[in-house]
């Protein structure tokens, strides 16, 4: 019987062994859930952010790049601060600030004593250099680098745009599920329109994390990881030197400049004034500190005037009226008209009554007749019906010049401008109860018409080319040899015979030589231009000038708008002239330095508290609500480099850095 007991004991031992084996077979082979749980608890997916693409100007100068900022991280459990005072001195903070930083850090979501938290965010390279050596004495503190956008030229803020955290609306409507909460995305300007090219491709790294979510090396030695692909760099068409010069000329003025190379449609310069330092919106800290202040500024620095400010075209539109009427056969170059009508001409006498002279002298009544002839073809014998037919025919021709529609520049938020159609007048005056006499003021570019400065620059481009244009664009190359959209390399004809341009170009030349635009003359270069004065019922008229040069084989077409500066020749023409000279010759001649100085010193800033909104034509384009109670910032002369001091105005009304 006792011998049995030996085997019973052995049986119990082996039984337990088999029970445990069976249990292990179940845990390790049959039940899969543990493998999934293990993966879920011990590995984490870390997104690798690519370097955003850089942007170069047309001469290869780097105008946008990434610059490192440094987050001072703290692992509270590992940190030892022997002497808090010395630590505060190192960081140049007070004891009180130190305490509040610690307190703020502890309140962050997901704060843990064993994981790194941001103690001080986004230190500059200079700040980092100051503390780098001293930090060795403080275990548990270290610095991680990341990059934000940097704009070394402090220029063309509205064109470049800014990068910021993606908002919930964009997050919801993205098509390919690329972005996640907290990601950065181009929010305006080139940063937005070339977002896909600039952003690159995110990578993914799998890391092992321990029970406290502290990273512990690569998961499976990185076998599942994908590397981030850096974004493509962009080659811009902007000439940054010309751009900065233009911004300097526009200081203390409200308005726009657009300069285009007519032979390619490349935008050489695009100024929206007043502007701001684009670095003010770079990085989360700067962005959150400055964005609302810029948004509420009554001078609307975030508003891209070349694309969004809709003005009445004024006398410049006479060029379009001439060309469309010639093409229609409504007039000839030799047509003469009685110098009476609902409009008056105060410039010249009847002796010079030709198309050439009318353009040169900007004769209003002449163009009243041109427009009238162009509209009324006496097809139906009914003035109302003829007006409708004529309007639509004319509107169609004008649209070919790019008016009343978006040209399609590679920037967001381009405005259409406004060219009325029959439906519009039916709404205003009642169906079929209106005729030419209701809207003849469009003959001289007033009335219902609305254009943006870009469209005017494009018009000059068309005239410079004698009948065609390329869609204006700011990027001429993506990546190393990436091509741009075909849209920007296709020649668009305005369907006006090139012969009709001869008289217009000749008249524009004479405008500069002997007409209203003499202030635009440049030695040894034949400049063709046209002045304009955009009526502004609320205040002083806007000074407008368009031009191209040289007359033959033109290199630059330009449109200059200066708000509240009066007659076109006064300010806009010299600005255009200086820019053309600088672009074609490389520099401005010595004897014109006095003019340059005078322009720079001119101040056409509106009085405080008056919102600087361009007149809104009937098309109703500008929907931006400006808070009237926001007080205009003082117009300091200091350039803004830093926004640390909140008393300094953000709007860059003066520009001290150029040349």
Partner 1 sequence: MYREDKVTSYLDWPTVLLFAACVLIGWFNIFAAVFDVENQKSIFDLSLNSGKQLLWIGTGAVIVIVILVLDYRFYETFAYIILAFTVISLVGVLLLAKDVNGAKSWFEIGSFRVQPSEFAKFATALALAKYLSQPGLNLEKWKDLIPVGAILAVPALLILFQNDTGSFLVFSAFIFVLYREGLSPIIPVVGIAAIVVLVLTLLVPILYLVIGFTIVAGFIILTLQRRNFRNIAMVVGGLVLLCGMAVGANAAIGKLQDHQQKRIKSLVNPGLEPQGIGYQVNQSKIAIGSGGLLGKGWLEGTQTKLNFVPEQSTDFIFCTIGEEHGLIGSTLVIAVFMGLLCRLLYLAERQKDRFARIYGYCVASIIFFHFFINLGMVIGLLPVIGIPLPFISYGGSSLWSFTILLFIFLKLDAHRLQTLAR
Residues that bind partner 1 (CB under 8 A): 2, 5-6, 8-10, 12-14, 16-17, 19-21, 23-25, 27-29, 31, 33-35, 37-39, 41-43, 208-212, 216-217, 219
Strands (E), 489-623: 492-493, 528-534, 542-549, 556-562
Contact (CB, 8 A) for 560 and 548: no
Neighbours of 602 (CB within 10 A): 18
Q: State in angstroms the smallest separation of the CB of 223 from partner 1.
A: 12
The CB-of-24 to partner 1 minimum distance in angstroms stands at: 5
* Nearest distance in Å: CB 207, partner 1: 10
CB of 34 or CB of 111, closer to partner 1: 34
Q: Give the nearer residue to partner 1 in terms of CB position, either 17 or 636.
A: 17
Residue 116: partners with Cβ closer than 8 Å, 6 or more residues away: 73, 74, 75, 142
Nearer to partner 1, 151 or 219 (CB): 219
Any idea what the Cα angle at residue 286 is, between residues 628 and 109, rounded to 5°? 110
Q: Which is nearer to partner 1, 207 or 648 (CB)?
A: 207
Of 126 and 211, which has the nearer Cβ to partner 1?
Answer: 211
- Tell me whether residue 28 or residue 132 sits nearer to partner 1 (CB atom): 28
Indicate the residue among 39 and 641 with the shorter CB distance to partner 1: 39
Query: Nearest approach, Cβ of 306 to partner 1 (angstroms)?
Result: 54
Residue 217 or residue 586: which is nearer to partner 1 going by CB? Answer: 217
Residue 618's Cβ-side half-sphere holds a number of Cα atoms within 13 Å equal to 13
Considering the complex, what minimum distance in angstroms separates the CB of residue 106 from partner 1? Answer: 22
The nearest distance, CB 188 to partner 1, in angstroms, is: 42
**Structure token digits, residue 108:** 């962050």
Q: Which is nearer to partner 1, 25 or 429 (CB)?
A: 25
Task: Report CA-CA distances (Å) from 176 to 29, 184, 190.
Answer: 38, 16, 21
Q: CA 582, 587, 590 angle in degrees (round to 5)?
A: 115
Nearest to 399 by CA among 505, 499, 294, 493: 493
Whole-angstrom distance, CA of residue 592 vs CA of residue 581: 10
Neighbouring residues of 366: CB distance < 8 A, sequence distance ≥ 6: 337, 339, 345, 353, 355, 358
Shortest Å, Cβ 119 to partner 1: 22
Give dist(CA 203, CA 197) in Å, integer.
16
Q: Which is nearer to partner 1, 6 or 80 (CB)?
A: 6
- Torsional sign, CA 395, 401, 402, 408: positive
CB of 2 to partner 1, least distance (A): 7
Distance of alpha carbon 124 from alpha carbon 515, whole angstroms: 55
Nearer to partner 1, 39 or 204 (CB): 39
Q: How are beta strands 55-56 and 234-236 bridged, if at all?
A: parallel
Beta carbon nearer to partner 1, 42 or 124: 42
Work out whether the CA dihedral 208, 212, 213, 215 comes out positive or negative. negative
- Percent helix, strand and coil across the chain, each to the nearest 5: 40, 20, 45
Query: Strand 55-56 relative to strand 62-74: parallel, antiparallel, unpaired?
Result: antiparallel
Three-state SS at 271: strand
Exposed, middle or buried, 290 (CB in 10 Å: 0-12/13-18/19+)?
A: buried
State the minimum distance, in angstroms, from the CB of residue 217 to partner 1. Answer: 4
Nearer to partner 1, 5 or 96 (CB): 5
Give the residue carrying structure tokens 């190359």. Answer: 477
Residue 583, classed as helix, strand or coil, is helix
- Cβ(600)–Cβ(615) under 8 Å? no
Partnered with residue 12 across adjacent β-strands are none
CB atoms within 10 A of CB 607: 8
Whose Cβ is closer to partner 1: residue 9's or residue 428's? 9
H or E element at residue 373: helix 364-375
Structure tokens belonging to residue 283:
């990085």
- Shortest reach from residue 221's CB to partner 1, in Å: 9
């Amino acid at each position: 019987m006792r011998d049995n007991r030996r085997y019973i004991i052995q049986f119990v031992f082996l039984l337990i062994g088999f029970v445990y084996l069976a249990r292990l077979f179940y845990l390790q082979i049959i039940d899969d859930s543990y493998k999934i749980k293990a993966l879920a608890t011990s590995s984490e997916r870390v997104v690798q952010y690519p370097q955003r693409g850089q942007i170069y100007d047309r001469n290869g100068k780097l105008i946008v790049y990434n610059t490192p900022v440094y987050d001072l991280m703290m692992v509270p459990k590992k940190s030892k601060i022997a002497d808090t005072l010395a630590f505060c001195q190192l960081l140049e903070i007070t004891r009180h600030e130190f305490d509040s930083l610690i307190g703020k850090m502890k309140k962050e979501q997901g704060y843990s004593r064993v994981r790194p938290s941001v103690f001080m965010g986004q230190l500059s390279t200079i700040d980092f250099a100051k503390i780098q050596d001293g930090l060795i004495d403080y275990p548990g503190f270290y610095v991680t680098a990341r990059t934000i956008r940097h704009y070394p030229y402090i220029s063309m803020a509205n064109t470049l745009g800014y990068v910021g955290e993606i908002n919930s609306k964009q997050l919801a409507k993205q098509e390919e599920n690329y972005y996640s909460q907290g990601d950065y995305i181009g929010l305006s300007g080139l940063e937005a329109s070339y977002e896909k090219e600039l952003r690159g491709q995110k990578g993914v790294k799998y890391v092992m994390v321990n029970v406290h979510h502290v990273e512990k090396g690569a998961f499976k030695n990185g076998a599942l990881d994908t590397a981030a692909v850096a974004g493509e760099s962009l080659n811009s068409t902007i000439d940054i030197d010309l751009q900065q010069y233009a911004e300097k000329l526009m200081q203390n003025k409200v308005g726009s400049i657009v300069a285009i190379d007519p032979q390619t449609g490349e935008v050489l310069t695009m100024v929206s004034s007043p502007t701001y330092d684009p670095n003010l919106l770079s990085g989360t800290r700067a962005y959150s500190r400055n964005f609302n202040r810029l948004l509420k500024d009554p001078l609307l620095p975030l508003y891209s005037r070349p694309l969004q400010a809709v003005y009445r075209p004024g006398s410049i539109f006479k060029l379009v009226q001439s060309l469309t009427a010639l093409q229609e056969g409504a007039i000839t170059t030799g047509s003469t008209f009685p110098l009476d009508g609902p409009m008056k001409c105060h410039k010249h006498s009847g002796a010079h009554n030709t198309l050439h002279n009318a353009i040169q002298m900007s004769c209003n009544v002449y163009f009243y007749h041109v427009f009238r002839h162009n509209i009324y073809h006496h097809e139906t014998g009914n003035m109302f019906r003829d007006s409708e037919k004529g309007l639509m025919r004319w509107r169609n021709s004008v649209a070919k010049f790019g008016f009343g529609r978006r040209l399609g520049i590679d920037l967001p938020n381009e405005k259409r401008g406004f060219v009325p159609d029959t439906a519009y007048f039916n709404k205003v005056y009642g169906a079929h109860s209106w005729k030419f006499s209701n809207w003849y003021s469009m003959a001289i570019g007033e009335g219902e018409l609305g254009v943006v400065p870009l469209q005017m620059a494009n018009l000059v481009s068309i005239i410079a080319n004698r009948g065609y244009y390329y869609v204006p664009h700011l990027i001429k190359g993506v990546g190393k040899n990436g091509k741009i959209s075909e849209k920007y390399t296709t020649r668009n004809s305005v369907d006006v015979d090139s012969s009709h341009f001869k008289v217009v170009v000749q008249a524009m030349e004479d405008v500069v030589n002997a007409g209203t635009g003499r202030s635009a003359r440049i030695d040894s270069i034949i400049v063709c231009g046209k002045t304009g004065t955009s009526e502004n019922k609320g205040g002083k008229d806007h000074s407008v000038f368009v031009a191209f040069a040289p007359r033959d084989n033109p290199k630059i077409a330009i449109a200059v708008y200066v708000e509240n500066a009066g007659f076109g020749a006064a300010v806009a023409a010299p600005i255009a002239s200086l820019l053309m000279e600088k672009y074609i010759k490389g520099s401005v001649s010595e004897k014109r330095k006095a003019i340059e100085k005078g322009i720079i010193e001119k101040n056409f800033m509106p009085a405080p508290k008056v919102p600087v909104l361009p007149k809104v034509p009937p098309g109703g384009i500008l929907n931006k609500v400006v808070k009237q109670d926001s007080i205009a910032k003082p117009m300091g002369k200091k350039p803004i480099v830093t926004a640390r001091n909140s008393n300094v105005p953000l709007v860059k009304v003066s520009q001290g850095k150029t040349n």
